[in-house]
Structure 1
Amino acid sequence: MEFISGMRYSLLFLGLGMGLLSACSQKTSEERMFHPQKVDSSIPTHINEISRALDQRDPQPEWYVKRAKLYLSLNQATPALKDLTKATALDPSLGEAYFYKAKILLQGQQYQETMRMMMQAKAFNYYSPESEAILTETYVGLKQYERALGHGLKAIKLSPSEAKHYVLLAQAQVGTGDTTRALVNLQRALVRDSVSLPAFRELSAIYTARKLYDYAYPLVQQGVRKQPQDGFWWQQLGQYFLSRNQTDTALATFSRAINLNPKQAQAYAGLGEAWYKKRQYSTALPLLEKARELGLPMTEHNRWILASCLEWTGQKEAARQQYVFLTRKYPQNRRYSVALQRVTRPVPQRTIIDTLSGISVF
């Protein structure tokens, strides 16, 4: 009996021990679960580890590429480009380094240099599906739209779920004048990403060009809300207000666009048109000329406003040249020929009668 009683106590203590052990184990598990910050695996930590390795040993070019990619994940392009340059100096045949250099240069819209880096990457047998997207965007930036089309189609074939690739193909199609297919591809982009700001951007530009301002407006509102420091959205918003004859609001909106992006030709043109609508021709004219200097496409509408401002500021000969162009290209529009006659017609001279001979001081 004593033996059995002892066994019971032993089993009881053993059960209590196992319970305590399980509780401790559970507590340790819970601590690990709710305190992940105890294990530091952040990107800055990885960068520091690679930096220490580069300082202590013979630097390997691949390490510089790895650190550059970590910098890029933090949107730190300057140190990334520096590392990639070191990598190609140590190993000029490192194709991956040229590829990532191209990505950085593309962000800065350095299209010629981007293309050169992509050719280097190809020469050293580096290729990824993203290469086609980079080439598409580069050719669009260089306005070589036919070439961009081919690479855009390849990018979609390789990554059909990527919304950005449909936007890039649409940009190339807009460049060739095929806005119908561009609209289809932008809708495909939105199927894959319903809040794609690049898709909203292209759609709003197409709708605005077609004067479908009510279609463009909700897209522009999203852009202004999510990217308030991007002058493009304010310029598009200004076009909407201008179409509604809310001229003072348009003036403020276009001015905001120019403050954010002083090289935006369309914003200067919009601001000039707003002053033109207020009959402030001498204020409008330098803004329109600035827009031309920045590369504004001289559409029929833009040329008419410029010609009108030239005429009403007294620059009749310059206005006449613009009216001649409009009359020849658009002979069906009578207002151009009427304006041409107006600035060409000689100004009647007033007859001055000399009355001195009929007056005597004596």
Structure 2
Amino acid sequence: MLSVSLGACALEEGDHEQMVNLQKVKDDPAAQLQNLNAAIENSKRDGSLYARRAVALLRNGELDKALQDANEAVKFTRNEPASLFVKAQVLRAMGKSEEALPLALTAERNSYQSASLYVLLGELYLQRKEYEQAMEYILKAQELSPADEFAFYYKGRVQEATGDTLNAVRNYKNALEQLADFVEPKRELAAIYISKGNHEVAKPYLQQALRKAPRDAKLWYNQGLAYQAEQKADSAIEAFTKAVSINDALPGAHYKLGLHQLNLGDPDAALEHLQKAYEAYKGKPEYLGKLASAYERAGYYSRALATYQRLVEIEPNMTYAYSAIARLKYKIAKPMPENAAVSIQEQIER
């Protein structure tokens, strides 16, 4: 999802700022790039042309090339705020949010006023979980562009992150009123409704979003949750597997797949998934219990013991964990043949 400022004559001083949703740009991308290539060939020191081509390349997903052009734009325009903003957009798309933020802030400090800049700053602060600062910039964006679909969307994201799902739903729907095929609000609405058990309400949002964005891992994760609620276990596992094939860093899907493998009696396969969910779920007693069980069943007794001990630190009322701790201490201390001890030690070190 990208929103970039792009005027008719790009970023030259005095041009009118225009909010453009890249998905709605009507120019043929190949023709646009061809024209920009020719223009840059005739004027190799025109920073505004590099900025325009950076935007075109960003829209095409050619991020490395887009960054090269953004750097040229910054150089030839001598750090013009609009060029800094374009570079910040490219860095954000590359997942380099910490590099994007200071550039966007510099653009703002140099009197660059743009709804899309404020939306970008709101998103970057949202990623840092600085919700008050994020909302401040979203509200600034709405002052300049009250009907901006991205401002509505990120306002909803901030509200959802701070527990205000009622207003988040309202703003996601406001975003869709401005742009009916906007995927991300549909994804978030589907997730909220699924979490509340309103699966029939979630279904159309989920189906429409998946048709538009079949490579969105979070959508496949939510589809898996919906299948689970419908007791379609095989379809749910297929959806979770699809999700991690797209994004291997999706902890919820890994947790579900780990539970599935544990139920199948394959603790080693379970651990491959459960370990990838650790950072997101390490404070959840149920998860720690499953992880400890998988370690024990796979023969990693020391790791199982440490995990059960963490479990009772978080939730002292988990009485079964105390029995497991005593059992594991006995297993670890119990004398065994030398070759068996070597085997267990090798497993622990793995």
Structure-2-length-normalised TM-score: 0.74
What is the CA distance between 1:77 and its match in structure 2? 4.5
Residue 198 of structure 1 and its aligned partner are, at CA, apart by 0.9
Q: 1:134 aligns with which of 120, 143, 151?
A: 120
| Distance in 1, Cα, partners of 2:224 & 2:248 | 15
Tell whether the 8 Å contact from 1:307 to 1:322 is kept in structure 2 after alignment.
yes
The residue that corresponds to 1:301 in the other structure is: 286
For 2:89, the aligned partner's letter is K
From 304, 312, 321, the equivalent of 1:339 is 321
Counterpart-to-counterpart distance in 2, 1:215 and 1:340:
43
The code of the aligned residue for 2:261 comes to W
Deviation, 1:139, is 1.2
Asked if structure 2 preserves the Cα contact closer than 8 Å seen for 1:109 and 1:141, the reply is: no
Is 1:220 aligned to residue 196 of structure 2? no
Q: Which amino acid aligns with 1:339?
A: A
Name the CA distance, whole Å, in 1 between partners of 2:278 and 2:288: 10
Q: 2:146 is paired with a residue of what secondary structure?
A: coil
Instruction: Tell me: CA distance 1:300–1:189, structure 2 relative to 1, closer, same or farther (3 Å).
Output: farther
Distance in 2 separating the partners of 1:128 and 1:322: 50
Contact 2:261 2:270 in 1 (8 A): yes
**What fraction of aligned residue pairs are identical, expressed as a percent?**
26
Deviation at 1:132, TM superposition (A): 0.9
Q: Deviations over 1:111-167 (max 9, x none)?
A: 011112212323433221111100011112223223212112222333221222122
Deviates more, 1:198-207 or 1:319-328: 319-328
SS in 2 for 1:253: helix
Contact 1:247 1:274 in 2 (8 A): no
Partner residue, 2:45 = 59
Structure 2 CA distance for aligned equivalents of residues 216 and 136 of structure 1? 27
Q: 1:149-298 maps to which residues of 2 (within 5 A)?
A: 149-210=135-196, 212-292=198-278, 295=280, 298=283
Q: Which moved more, 1:271-280 or 1:67-76?
A: 67-76
The structure whose RCO (Cα within 8 Å, separation 6+) is larger is 2
Post-superposition shift, 1:244? 4.3
Q: Quote the Cα distance in structure 2 between the aligned partners of 1:213 and 1:310.
A: 35
Q: Comparing 279-288 with 312-321, which one deviates more in the overlay?
A: 312-321
Q: Which residue of the other structure, out of 49, 60, 77, is the alignment partner of 1:91?
A: 77
Give the Cα–Cα distance (whole angstroms) in 2 for the partners of residues 296 and 329 of structure 1. 12
Residues 263-311 of structure 1, C-alpha deviations (whole Å, 9 max, x = no match):
3222222211222233433321221012226x55643432332233234
Paired with 2:330 and 2:55, the residues of 1 have a C-alpha distance of 70
Q: Equivalents in 1 of 2:182, 2:82: separation in Å?
A: 28
Contact 1:247 1:277 (8 Å CA) reproduced: no
How far apart in 2 are the matches of 1:68 and 1:285?
43
- Cα separation, 1, equivalents of 2:255 and 2:78: 47
Please state how far the C-alpha of 1:316 moved relative to its aligned partner: 4.7
The SS at the match of 1:160 is coil
User: 219-228 vs 205-214, which deviates more?
Assistant: 205-214
Q: Does the 8 A contact of 2:119 with 2:141 survive in 1?
A: yes
2:129 alignment partner in structure 1: 143
CA pair 270-215 structure 1, distance change in 2 beyond 3 A:
farther
Contact 1:307/1:323 (<8 A) preserved: yes
Larger Rg: 1
Mapped contact 2:285–2:314 kept (Cα < 8 A): no
* Equivalent residue letter for 2:104: M
> Gaps spanning 5+ residues in structure 2: where?
1-26, 335-350
CA contact (8 A) 1:213 1:240 kept: yes
Aligned with residue 68 of structure 2, among 64, 74, 82:
82
Q: Helix, strand or coil for the counterpart of 1:187?
A: helix
1:326–1:45: structure 2 CA closer, same or farther, 3 Å change rule? Answer: closer
Compute the displacement of 1:237 (Å): 1.7
Partner of 2:343: none
Q: CA RMSD in A?
A: 3.3
Amino acid at match of 1:270: K
Matching residue's letter, 1:337? T
Per-residue deviation, 1:253: 2.1
Q: Please tell me whether the aligned partners of residues 238 and 270 of structure 1 are also in contact (alpha carbons under 8 angstroms).
A: no
Name the aligned partner's letter for residue 144 of structure 1. Answer: E
What is the Cα deviation at residue 171 of structure 1?
A: 1.6
